[in-house]
Structure 1
């Protein structure tokens, strides 16, 4: 029996939303089946297991994030710009692709020792490597202070990965507010010359427009 792409997408969308709202362990295939008016067997037919759905969620979300940054890299050359792009990509994804972003962040260690999740870990490592490279480039070019680049990258990603815990797009802070604050503190701690920090922390800066355009291309978002 051929698989229906429409039904498969519908199942995965519901799974992503459930994981974002409840977490992976409390997401039940039976609940998804009931909501969509199908049997659990239909879901198994499309995905096999719940862990396969998590793997697909993670791979899709992380690959999209990498695509956005690699596209932005074609238009942004300075390490300051690229660090700003990393930060704003993470904060804006909380609005543009909210469920997938929250689901991925809250389950960052879920099934981490499962061999089938090796590709997911590889994608996370690639995102980390992009950050390490740009901090190192900034140090080598005399723009950033001489810091432990790997530890600095871990600090940044650790902060960005915990956004789901406290950031509510419907709350008083916009993703632009959050991004600007992250840029001010993190980039401000790296720069040798802080005179232009306010430019990089400005949500109306050109680099933020580039990030928005790259996100729109990757996600189909219109705002």
Structure 2
């Protein structure tokens, strides 16, 4: 069967959804081919192996996250605002890019030792470095308590990485409320003066709206 234009994107999107729902090991190329009404050979023609599809998922995902952070950084300047913005963005990914977010987060160690994943590991480190640099700047400026920026960054990212196991976008709490709760806890523990915390942890505040708009615009730009 000859794939029509755009089928590669359709194959990858279906693969991502299957990984999000079942996990990488339980995702079967034959099932994807059957769902899309094509031969398994068509998938192999485009991607070669299932592992290559996971690499492409991770590459696309981390590249997108890095672009979004850079866009947000152009609009907020203080360490506290930037840490809060990263937290809100991580929650919004659970809604705006849910399948890819879950697939990436649940399979983060799947190809950890694969040399072909070196680029993705570097991109992931770059995104984490955005946060660790701001924590370091906040400590140096006397805005944050003296903490180890590496450990604190891992604590925050580690908590956010597992959100897919319990957060339901259609559930009791809105993404804004969940993000605000994370901001309240983490920045509450970092800030020397908590006077600005109520504003940063306001689920209806300016920062929340700015981050949501940036994430949505990036998604629309990619889809265009």
Q: Give 2:215's aligned residue.
A: 215
Question: 1 CA distance for matches of 2:60 and 2:182?
Answer: 25
Partner of 2:70: 70
Encode CA deviations 1:76-95: one digit per residue, 9 max, x unaligned. 00001100110010001111
Instruction: Tell me the residue number matched to 1:124.
Output: 124
Q: Distance in 1 between matches of 2:50 and 2:177?
A: 36
Task: Quote the residue 1:169 is aligned against.
Answer: 169
Q: Give the total of aligned pairs.
A: 221
Q: Does 1:22 align with 2:26?
A: no
Question: Closer, same or farther in 2 for the Cα pair 1:57/1:192, shift >3 Å?
Answer: same
Contact 1:68–1:211, Cα closer than 8 Å, also in 2: no
Does residue 196 of structure 1 match 2:174? no
TM-fit CA distance, 1:205 = 1.8
Shift of 1:5: 4.2
**Which runs of structure 2 are paired with 1:69-148 in the superposition (5 Å)?**
69-148=69-148
* Greater shift in the superposed pair: 41-50 or 199-208: 199-208
Residue 177 (structure 1) shift: 1.2
Gaps of 5+ in 2: none
Pairwise CA distance, 1:2: 8.8
CA contact (8 A) 1:87 1:179 kept: yes
CA distance in 2, matches of 1:4, 1:48: 18
Q: Are the aligned partners of 1:3 and 1:46 in contact in 2 as well (CA < 8 Å)? A: no
Structure 2 distance, partners of 1:28, 1:9, is 17
Check whether the contact 2:16–2:99 (CA below 8 A) recurs between aligned residues: yes
Aligned to 2:155: 155
Question: Where does structure 1 lack aligned partners over 5 or more consecutive residues?
Answer: none
Q: Distance in 2 between matches of 1:19 and 1:139?
A: 39
Shift of 1:4: 4.5
Equivalent residue of 2:194, what SS?
coil
1:55 is matched with 55
8 Å CA contact retained: 1:33, 1:40? yes
What's the TM-score once normalised by structure 2's chain length? 0.95
> Aligned with 2:77: secondary structure?
coil
- Provide runs of 4+ in structure 1 moved above 3 Å: 1-5
